[in-house]
Structure 1
């Protein structure tokens, strides 16, 4: 039981900085990105909005929990269902931080293959999700700053006046308040369930035990079965993936884990079902699974054809997030997730403006 608690705590500390970053991004998106812009670029159906969402999300350094508030903010600001799915997949599967670590740990080949596969899986799943009929967006409180400043909504095509520094500051504060209250309340339960489940999986079924499966579709299906419910960041998954390579798992099978693990977990699946419905959740799981296996098989075929030795490129790296930052972020999130304590603190902080 002590191992279970320590693993849950370790996962929470690992996730906290990225979750806090995601909440901040969600608040600023809600505050500073107008609904008109969001609908113009990420609204509607078709390849364009879905591809743009994938390209926008791919370089962002947000993990599978950090992307949830950001994607929720995008959806409630007017992004289409397909674009939301595309952003929700591309963002945690890759990022400038995880690509850098992939290059350091697994070499240039995997550093190139990983983001390409992530964008492909995001666009593929986003297009499938766009085929499901839309339903009305759930009501959500917006930041209280619709005064012609940075986050006021304007008709599509109409120029938005440049906000004053005071208005921009007010919008930013209100956006952060919105993220740390409304959005965090929407996420807290499923995040807790996901982190606890991930701790249990790591405790009783260590991922290193999967190395015996080697390669091929059966091994990839095992990676999917473990990666889908597990919480693991793209960056945090890279050292584990490198160790699997050294233990004999094929690059394509490892790629399946790198795609499915960060993009899916119990928290994401629960929130997705509530926000977008069961049919979209089914499409989401099918799209990620099919794309991950297709990319894995293609990667193994490419390695075999070119004769590249990926295991020879594996190296070691250290922790990217300081321990003090993880503890600070975890404390802040815990405080704001407890409503009575949060309300007591916010009562002492006057609203901006």
Structure 2
């Protein structure tokens, strides 16, 4: 993520966001639909339908061979969802910016290391307490990665935040029963902690984030090491093929190893040190560590917070647009009524099917409880319901697509695979009680 002038691509997707938002507003006004359903649930709903019904019912979109009409419904339903998501998305950007500007990378690294039990428990608890839904978690995640939070606790937070928070616990207890609410809390902590510890162990073995994440993690180096890194970067820019240890100075070996761990430089096969060239930036690593940091006054930090937040917003809009269009396609091609009937049958009343449906049927946090109630009324069992509650907010296809803005494929599918297995196991265990 490079600062400076915005690219044509970033401007294009920003315009797409604005156009989709305006399109949804126009459609609701032109067809005299419910404004509250649009802003609170992201759906196109006739007036007069309130409460839980507004969460699970939508205007009908009959499928036909009229392909342009089908595409129109996909776009308009995706646009409606964007109206609900956008406030959370922007809020997530500012939380992410705050993490980048105010969180000390050195303190985080010192406290969390590669992410032990305590670090993962802290991250899981924070995710469960902070009221942020799946719609805004991706920019926050980007900020955590850029701020230097280890991957294990980052993923623990990523899992617990959309799957669980205080309002959804009370909603679950009130609509689905205390037993389901307790099972949800225990399951989320078990899944988050397990994934966090596994990824922490995996990261410790691999060391470094360059091959796992797409976002550049700017090292917050001590002042003395910053000066050395800058002077070394100037030499290496002039000699990009690299310098030997003798040319740099054998007394600087320890500093070189620290910069290698921070992924600023790397050692080649012929034992030369060179700058790491970033694929996602026109700059080399050494050019990113000028001795600046965010060490100004509180007012200066607020200005930097604004800049970082909006840079994140423009950088990640592509994934937001793609995600809402995928969600729109799911809503049109797989209507809620079809999903209810499909999962409600006794023969398909299984935890595995419910977990798969949770991935396919996009539900934002706070929406999964009333939709789960509708599924229960159609005959879905308790274990399948729990799997749906866990998988729906965190493992939907649009959410996975947005996460690809931060994770490279190997880490993304590790997260998806472990989380999916955790949801299935939790559902099967709950069926035993």
Report the TM-score when normalising by structure 2.
0.59
Residue pairs, 1:258-337, within 5 angstroms: 258-270=389-401, 272-273=403-404, 275-302=406-433
Q: Superposition RMSD on alpha carbons, in Å?
A: 2.9
Counterpart CA distance in 2 for 1:6 and 1:49 is 42
Q: Answer yes or no: is 1:116 the counterpart of 2:186.
A: yes
Q: Answer yes or no: is 1:75 the counterpart of 2:152.
A: no
Asked whether the equivalents of residues 89 and 118 of structure 1 are also in contact (C-alpha less than 8 Å), the reply is yes
Counterpart CA distance in 1 for 2:208 and 2:402 is 16
Residue pairs, 1:44-59, within 5 angstroms: 44-59=114-129
Q: What is the deviation of 1:207?
A: 3.8
Question: Aligned in 2, Cα 1:44/1:16: closer, same or farther, shift over 3 Å?
Answer: same
Candidates 196, 209, 216, aligned match of 1:139:
216
Between 221-230 and 285-294, report the one with greater CA deviation: 221-230
Q: What is the deviation of 1:53?
A: 1.1
Asked whether the equivalents of residues 65 and 191 of structure 1 are also in contact (C-alpha less than 8 Å), the reply is no
Match of 1:32 in 2: 102
More helix by share: 1
Q: What is the deviation of 1:140?
A: 5.5
Report the TM-score when normalising by structure 1.
0.71
Match of 2:328 in 1: 199
Point out 4+ residue stretches in structure 1 off by more than 6 angstroms: 215-218
Match of 2:307 in 1: 177
Can you give the 5+ residue segments of structure 1 that lack an aligned partner in the other structure?
A: 147-162, 303-353
Counterpart CA distance in 1 for 2:77 and 2:109 is 41
Q: How many residues align?
A: 282
What is the DSSP-based 3-state SS (H/G/I as helix, E as strand, rest coil) of the residue aligned with 2:98?
Answer: helix
Candidates 83, 91, 102, aligned match of 1:13:
83
Ranked by relative contact order (alpha carbons within 8 Å, sequence separation 6 or more), the top structure is 1
Question: Aligned in 2, Cα 1:113/1:280: closer, same or farther, shift over 3 Å?
Answer: same
Q: Answer yes or no: is 1:233 the counterpart of 2:364.
A: yes
Candidates 383, 387, 391, aligned match of 1:252:
383
Q: What is the deviation of 1:58?
A: 1.2
Can you give the 5+ residue segments of structure 2 that lack an aligned partner in the other structure?
A: 1-69, 224-293
Q: What is the deviation of 1:4?
A: 2.6
Give the greater-gyration-radius structure (CA): 2
Match of 1:87 in 2: 157
